[in-house]
Amino acid sequence: MCGVFGAFSKNGQSVLEDVYLGLYALQHRGQESAGIAWVTKNAGLYGLRVSKGMGLVHLALDQKELASSYSNCAIGHTRYSTAGGSFLSNAQPITANYSRGSVAIAHNGNITNATGIRRYLENRGAIFQSTSDTETILHLMAHQSHKPPLDALISALRTLRGAYSLAVIINNRLVAARDPWGFRPLLLGKRGETTYVASESCALDIVGATLIRDIKPGEVLVIDSEGEKSLLIPKETDRKFICAFEYVYFARPDSFLDGKSVYDVRKKLGHKLAQKAPCPQADIVTGMPDSGTISAMGYAEESGLLYEKAIVRNRYVGRTFIEPTQRVRKLGVKIKLNPIGEILKGKKVVIVDDSIVRGTTVQRVIAMVRESGAKEVHIRIASPPVKFPCYYGIDTPTSEELAAAKMNVEGLCKDIGADSLSYLSIEDMLEAIGLPPNNVCTACFSGNYLNGGKEDELDL
């Protein structure tokens, strides 16, 4: 669930600080590493520089270096690992020099047939410098050195299966590409003579850019001094797989994805939840900060119950869900969330959350709410049960880690210590999202995977 950002200025203004700011706005999509790659020019020849490091954007990148450098074309990345470990060698953008020039790639998503492609390339002499699935794209390009770099990129993308939203630098061109199924978001924005691509519209807002449109599934958009040119990845698809979990949890609520306001979707999820799983005996409704808050507001609004912000989030602690180890997640809950006892004491409380993945957070929060004096704790989840692993960029790799895959709703309710537990149905969630149902990926809820779950087939 990484964040990518790119910028190209036609009038020669430097875009490095814009990219730095864009990554700040996308920090919620990845906290393990961050990086920026930018175009340089020396003696008429284009090259690349890259700066990247581990941790949050302000720790990983040197703002003074970026402010004192110049480039009219740059891309950036914030990472959380789903393919390849949390190491500096896997930090992005990934850059390479090959016979046709310099290339840099920032990638959001998971290439599901990357292992097979990597094996194929290694048998033909390729030497990989990282364990990231993104590096396979560079090697596929390098093995087609008889083609111009843009043609080699499109040919490489045609062989990939799974999720990829890309910001790429090829010489002095910014290239944006979105997989033919549209798993991960990617948007186009403009401010004056500068063109931007970003994982979410909130990153365009911070640089004062206007959202133009979404990059279409299967589109390759080339941005250079002559303007923009739209090309297609020559790959037929039966349907789209736009990720439902982006709307449920991951995207920032002030973003627009595929024409839909994330805030509005989450409010509608709360309304649906109140209609389908009311709790008339409750005194108050509260949300699990922060991704459950808006659905909780919708639930309270629809049910006529009082909404209270009864659980406070420590703003200086990152998301527990995307931390890389279970031990850190468990420790994180204690320092991240704190109930307000004066509000909860003696009350029957409805807590609305966006989802239950591993169950660690909700279990500990229920215990803390009870310790604060709550009389009853009822859990309402603004999405269906997460029963299946995601292969497309969310860190739920095995069913063993998913609470809803190990027990039914009644068993899970008892396990987390709630008085009641209810979820939304897939149909209700899709209605709230408002996109055509056949355009939305529900694989983590339904098990309906791209290609029937055959995730490592080669198409070379």
Active site (catalytic) residues: 2
Do 370 and 377 form a contact (C-beta atoms < 8 A)?
Answer: yes
Angstrom CA distances, 303 to 285, 343, 344, stand at 9, 19, 19
β-bridge mates for residue 79, sequence order: 33
φ/ψ region of 453 (left if φ > 0, alpha if ψ in -120 to 50, else beta) reads left
What's the CA angle centered on 149, arms 231 and 54, to 5 degrees? Answer: 95
DSSP 162: B
Q: State the angle between helix axes of 262-276 and 293-303 in degrees (0 to 180), rounded to the nearest 10.
A: 50
Chain position carrying tokens 């069913």: 399
Beta strands in 55-185 (DSSP E): 73-79, 94-98, 101-108, 165-170, 173-178
Give the contacts of 119 (CB within 8 A, at least 6 positions apart): none
Across 96-111, b (16+ Cβ under 10 Å) vs e yields bebebbbbbbbbbbbb
Helices and strands (H, E) in the chain, number of each type: 17, 24
